[in-house]
Amino acid sequence: MTGKSPQVKALRMPLKFSTRLSPGRGGRRPPPNYLARSVQRKLLLLGGALFLVLLLMQEARKPESWHWLWALQEQTAAVPQDELPDTRVRDTERRSDTWVEQGRLVYVEPGAAGPSPPASTPETEPDVSAEFPQPSPQQRARRDAWNQQWNSLEHEQRELLMRGLRQGRLGKPLQADASADWYEVIATIDQGWQRYLAAARESISRADSALTDAETQGWTAVIDTLAAEWQDELHPALAGLTPAEPSSEQTQTALRALQSTLDGMLLQTIADNTVFRPAEKDIWFRLLEDLAERELSELRQNSTGPVGFVQLVRQPDQYRGQLVTIRGTARLAHYRYAPENFYGISGYYMVWIQPVASNSPIVVYCLELPPEFPDVRARERQGLTPELDEDLEVTGYFFKRWAYRAQDGTRLAPLLLAKSPSWTARPLPLTDRGALPGWGYWVLMLGGTALFGVGCAGGLYWFSSRSPRPPRRAANRLSGERHE
């Protein structure tokens, strides 16, 4: 049988390999036509998307881009305007006609303050909250005793007492030129203490006293404790201050306790609804001295927490001398030189802050401003009004409900003393050319994006234009079949 079988014929027939493989057989697709408009549009969209991603990454790394998150968390419900306290001062409430206005500060002339001002307006004072601890009978008696001693001293003697206390608290010797006057002041205070203790014992031992036996025993124990404090601790500590040597650690501890008592007593001399009074000078600088010596982190940690404008206006007696935290927008600031003092306070910044949910200001006197904060003193030297629009958080001592001259008359504002506000610069608006990167940044960004896109396109074209090669085993088998 001469004819070959169909199988043999099929095996010996030449194989034809097409450069175009059937779809679904694992072959590669032909490279795209980069001259086609559709392909060019896709590449343009990919390049633009890549540029947008890089730009968003650049903006996302900036902390100020995320301030809106914290703003949402700190939003406070707005108080209806009809529920806000009226801060206007009527003509009948003014304390004196001898006010002297210096810029936006209102001072009262020394000696013209008149009698002690009344307490805060009763109808605006709610009941004392339980969160404000009340002083014990012993603390009240101690402050009352020192208040009598303070009032018995002349102005120069009070200043000498505070100066000597500061030297002793800091572990420094007494000034040599004040030693004679110092011992005279101590003798005057000692005589006043003896009179106070004698009068106190007599008042509780009288037959017509309305005290019960238990109350009499309680007050007798209080008086005995105060007598022991003065005779065994405070009097030796004060009399032991000399110009020859610094104070001991034990003396410093006793004088710090005495200073704390005097601070509490002086806080009670602060009067609301008034301008600055000479009687408030000592506690004013004492609070500033305390702020200057403490760290900001410690002040924030000891704060009673965030408070609002309404709380400070309606409860000044409860917040007085307390560390509180307020938030708002600084609208105006001035630098003021401090009056002559021995506390080392040369000056402070007066910042007018618009608190959250209120159009009435809170006035803050701070010893310093944060770094990179707008230079208030430079603007004042240039004759410019140092207007501001900066968000601040302030932790400081609440001082008083202060009277100031406004455009529509005399108004009241909460007044705080602080070390330094907490501030973070706002991102500049996009319309500000200073907030946009320079031309070099954009040329580099666009050029780098274009080069990256061209490189990606070239790489894709090179890989897709390579001819597919058959596997090595299949090629060897096919070549063997051809030789047959």
**Residue 339 included in any domain:** yes
**Residue 436 included in any domain:** no
The residue-averaged pLDDT of 344-358 equals 91
> Which segment of 251-255, 293-297, 298-302, 355-359 scores lowest on mean pLDDT?
355-359
Using the predicted structure, report yes or no on whether residue 127 has a pLDDT greater than 60.
no
Using the predicted structure, report yes or no on whether residue 71 has a pLDDT greater than 50.
no
CA distance 415 to 288: 13
Backbone phi and psi for residue 420, each to the nearest 5 degrees, phi listed first: -160, 140
Q: Which of 62-71, 207-216, 400-409, 411-420 has the highest mean pLDDT?
A: 411-420
Shared-domain flag, residues 262 and 291? no
**Residue 396 included in any domain:** yes
**Residue 85 included in any domain:** yes
Shared-domain flag, residues 321 and 358? yes
- The parent domain of residue 238 ranges over 145-270
Given 229, 255, 270, the domain boundary residue is 270
- Of the pLDDT bands very low, low, confident and very high (cuts 50, 70, 90), residue 453 is low
Q: Report the number of distinct structural domains present in the chain.
A: 2
Burial class from Cβ neighbours inside 10 Å (0-12, 13-18, 19+) for residue 430 reads: exposed
**Residue 102 included in any domain:** yes
Shared-domain flag, residues 337 and 311? yes
Cβ(328)–Cβ(313) below 8 Å: no
Shared-domain flag, residues 160 and 266? yes
What's the chain's length in residues? 484
**Residue 330 included in any domain:** yes
Shared-domain flag, residues 193 and 284? no
Contacts 24+ apart (CB under 8 A), 225-231: 225/138, 226/138, 226/141, 226/142, 226/145, 226/197, 227/197, 229/142, 230/190, 230/193
Given 270, 301, 329, the domain boundary residue is 270
Specify the pLDDT at position 289.
96
Shared-domain flag, residues 294 and 320? yes
**Residue 209 included in any domain:** yes
CA distance 338 to 163: 17
Using the predicted structure, report yes or no on whether residue 476 has a pLDDT greater than 80.
no
Q: Which residues pair with 3 in a beta bridge?
A: none
Shared-domain flag, residues 304 and 343? yes
The residue-averaged pLDDT of 175-190 equals 90
- Of the pLDDT bands very low, low, confident and very high (cuts 50, 70, 90), residue 356 is confident
The residue-averaged pLDDT of 137-157 equals 92
CA distance 109 to 260: 29
- Of the pLDDT bands very low, low, confident and very high (cuts 50, 70, 90), residue 38 is confident
pLDDT-above-70 percentage for the chain: 68
Specify the pLDDT at position 76.
44
pLDDT in tens, 226-261: 999 999 999 999 999 988 889 899 999 999 999 999
Given 426, 450, 474, the domain boundary residue is 426
The residue-averaged pLDDT of 410-439 equals 76
Shared-domain flag, residues 364 and 339? yes
pLDDT in tens, 456-467: 666 666 665 555
Radius of gyration of the chain (CA): 41
CA distance 50 to 149: 78
Burial class from Cβ neighbours inside 10 Å (0-12, 13-18, 19+) for residue 154 reads: exposed
Specify the pLDDT at position 329.
94
Shared-domain flag, residues 296 and 373? yes
Shared-domain flag, residues 321 and 411? yes
**Residue 99 included in any domain:** yes
**CATH number of the domain within which 285 lies:** 2.40.50.140
Shared-domain flag, residues 326 and 297? yes
> Which residue is associated with the tokens 């408009």?
37
Give the residue with greater pLDDT, 85 vs 232.
Answer: 232
Using the predicted structure, report yes or no on whether residue 125 has a pLDDT greater than 70.
no
Q: What angle do CA 311, 321, 170 make, to 5 degrees?
A: 160
pLDDT-above-90 percentage for the chain: 46
DSSP-derived 3-state class of residue 369:
coil
Shared-domain flag, residues 287 and 264? no
pTM over 0.75: no
Using the predicted structure, report yes or no on whether residue 75 has a pLDDT greater than 70.
no
